[in-house]
Amino acid sequence: MISILVTGANGQLGKTIEELYKNNTLGLHFVFVSKTELDITNKALLESFFSKHAFNYCINCAAYTNVEQAEKTPEIAYKINSQGAKNLANVCLERKVTLIHISTDYVFDGEKTEPYKISDDTNPINEYGKSKLQGEHHIKAVLDNYFIIRTSWLYSKKHGNNFYKTILKKAKTEKELRITTDQKGVPTDTENLSRFTVELIKNNDKNFGLYHFCDENAMTWYDFAKSILIENKLLDNINLIKTDKFKTLALRPLYSVLSKKRE
């Protein structure tokens, strides 16, 4: 039986993994812990928790993902996304646990016009992206046996707060939606990322290192909103308007499509 710890289990990805695999018959045993049950920024707590279990893998879904708030209180983002990742890496090294860490397309600056390769230089333009990149660096410095999976525009149709659910909510209460066309990426369903992640474990994959994973269709936020409304038969109920004037506190990559090819 392979034992797998999933941190950040109350987030949309953690909940999706639990929904898909908690009652599996794959010979995998999952332990799901939320932040209140296991705070990855507390190294002593991590060491104590890991000492009481014999994990083979740790899937780290714990992250600070509020991109706007990270600009105002970056210390919180760095504490979780950087120091927390470092703590996990060190404990995984001590306990011989393979770490699978979820990262982001926001480690790139968005100045390319073709999909970002794994080998491309990173250059995050907001505090969230910088904190996640620091986490990557810590893991690489500590571990040999790790998987870092960068993903993009992650959403769940069932869990968490995300663009997909926000559009559905607004479509039921507003007559008009203005959605930006100035950013392009690949919306990625948590179910697909969950399956990709667990496949690495099921296949006993030893090709450690950095991965990119996203779904197949690159689009703007406007395109994504339109596809959500069409899928839920709501497009006729709302006036969907393109805009390039959507202002945010945090700078966002204008282009963050990821290439999944490994070089």
Q: Which fold has domain 2-162+188-216?
A: Rossmann fold (3.40.50)
Catalytic residue ranges: 128
Locate the domains of the chain by residue range: 2-162+188-216
Model pLDDT for residues 79-110, shown as the tens digit of each residue: 999 999 999 999 999 999 999 999 999 999 99
Nearest to 210 by CA among 255, 151, 253: 151
Alpha-carbon gap, residue 186 to 146, rounded angstroms: 24
Please state the pTM of the whole predicted model: 0.96
Question: Contact 94/47 with Cβ under 8 angstroms?
Answer: yes
For the chain, strand residue ranges (E) read 2-7, 28-33, 57-60, 98-104, 146-151, 154-155, 176-180, 184-185, 188-189, 209-212, 219-220, 239-243
Q: Give the tens place of pLDDT for each residue, 215-229.
A: 999 999 999 999 999
Distance CA 254, CA 105 (A): 11
184 forms bridges with which residues in the sheet? 220, 255
